[in-house]
Amino acid sequence: MEGRAVVVGVGESPYYKRGGASESEFQLACIAIRNAVADAGLTMADVDGFASYMDRNEPVRLSNALGTGDLHFTGQTFGGGGNGTAAAVALADMAVSAGYAECVVVFRSLAQGQFHRYGQAGKSRRAGGSAAYTAPYGMLSAAQICAMQTMRWMHDHGVTQDSLAEVALACFAHAQHNPRAVRYGSPLTREEYHASRWIAEPFHLYDCCPENDGAAAIVVTTAERARDCAQPGVPIVAAAQGLAHRGGGAAFTEDGFPTAHYDLVARQLWNRAGVKPADVPVAQFYENFTGPVLMAIAEMGFCEPGEINDFVANGGIQLGGRLPINTSGGNLAEAYIHGFGCVVEAVRQMRGTSTCQVEGADLSLVVAGPGFAPGSAVLFGRDS
């Protein structure tokens, strides 16, 4: 069934630092969706479905406010966060490929200046569920969780702090070409990276995604309808979501710890697509934190864990390198829209309109939030 659904529109709101948006989170969602639908050359009446992950802007309200057509599909993925970024695109692929809907908007709107900040945690008198085993010990934030995974992974495979830095340096370098990026005009040096304060060892400030306000959206439709749209269609070649057997243990008890939860996703994705990692010339790896990105690069099969230092060194993951990643600046330096900016950028790479365009690229990968299960990934292709 894969390959039948096509991305025909992308759009975003302006991206802001946390608290910088004058628009509400719901308004940001509406702006991004309108922009994506207009980009496709469609009207809101064409939209008949919504997909997202962890979003609080409900399709019922969006449909009323935006004046969509009759809705035939709505869906969100399960799971703890940005690991659903690509899985939400897969939901739209499934709905369109199976004929449940014809024109599905996939979106994420997140204004951390208006709601809970992901970098902070509340104080409860008593913590229940799996948090009972972590919160009383001060293990509270996503940064701390990924730090615990990364520390052991670096130990096991001899990964250096400089390799973590390479992810941040690639993102900031690419953002300097992207006027939409929050960090456009604010380059980062290796010295500034190493001098920045610790957040949760081994993560410095620049290993951690920022808190931003903004929204991003794409429009997914059938190959047949894509032919009448304003932009060249970008086919969804394959997508995958995965949680390995016993891979979801609470409080770091999962089999395979430390894992980014991408071994199973990789096996499915490459099998479905009929390609191998070496065929992929550009990728967007959701950076919650730099360490899990390195883990995901290895688990997706681009190199062995023990080869990661060499893989990312000397511009290996920057434009012109063996695998340019996060070519818009990514979560770290474009904006943290819970990773959906990575999806928009991956589509732009296939249109040839990225601000860091990889010339001749014919496949474009998105790997969703690593370190949290289930993981997901999506591979886009070029219109042929």
Partner 1 sequence: MTTTETGPLPDDWTLPRLGRVNTEWFTSGKLLVQTCNACGTRQHPPEEICHQCGSMDLGHTELGPNGTVHSYTVAHYAVNRALADAVPYAVVLVTLDDDPSIRIIGNVIDADPGEVHIGMPVRATWVERSDENGTVLLPQWVRA
Sequence-distant (6+) residues with CB within 8 A of 271 are none
Which of 382, 166, 212 has the alpha carbon at shortest distance from 282?
382
Nearer to partner 1, 70 or 123 (CB): 123
**SS3 state at 59:** helix
Q: How far is the CB of 146 from partner 1 (least distance, A)?
A: 9
Cα–Cα separations (whole angstroms), residue 180 to 80, 94, 198, 334, 354 = 27, 31, 28, 7, 11
Q: Is 158 left (phi over 0), alpha (psi -120 to 50) or beta?
A: left
Q: How far is the CB of 150 from partner 1 (least distance, A)?
A: 8
What distance lies between CA 244 and its chain's CA centroid? 20
**Residues near partner 1 (CB under 8 A):** 119-128, 130, 132-141, 143-144, 147-149, 151-152, 155, 197-202, 246, 250-253, 257-258
Nearer to partner 1, 80 or 119 (CB): 119
Q: How far is the CB of 282 from partner 1 (least distance, A)?
A: 32
What distance in Å separates the CA atoms of residue 328 and residue 308, rounded to the nearest whole number? Answer: 22
Check if the beta carbon of residue 193 is closer than 8 Å to that of residue 206: yes
Backbone angles phi, psi at 29, to 5 degrees: -60, -45
What distance in Å separates the CA atoms of residue 216 and residue 339, rounded to the nearest whole number? Answer: 9
Per DSSP, 197 falls in state P
Which of 96, 375, 76 has the alpha carbon at shortest distance from 233?
96
Nearer to partner 1, 65 or 127 (CB): 127
Q: Can 262 be counted among the known catalytic residues?
A: no
What distance in Å separates the CA atoms of residue 335 and residue 333, rounded to the nearest whole number? Answer: 6
> Which amino acid is present at 301?
G
Nearer to partner 1, 192 or 254 (CB): 254
Quickly tell me which residue has 């799996």 as its tokens: 130
Q: Can 336 be counted among the known catalytic residues?
A: yes
Q: How far is the CB of 115 from partner 1 (least distance, A)?
A: 16
Nearer to partner 1, 78 or 198 (CB): 198
Nearer to partner 1, 197 or 384 (CB): 197
Q: How far is the CB of 255 from partner 1 (least distance, A)?
A: 9
Per DSSP, 14 falls in state P
Q: How far is the CB of 380 from partner 1 (least distance, A)?
A: 35
Active site (catalytic) residues? 286, 336
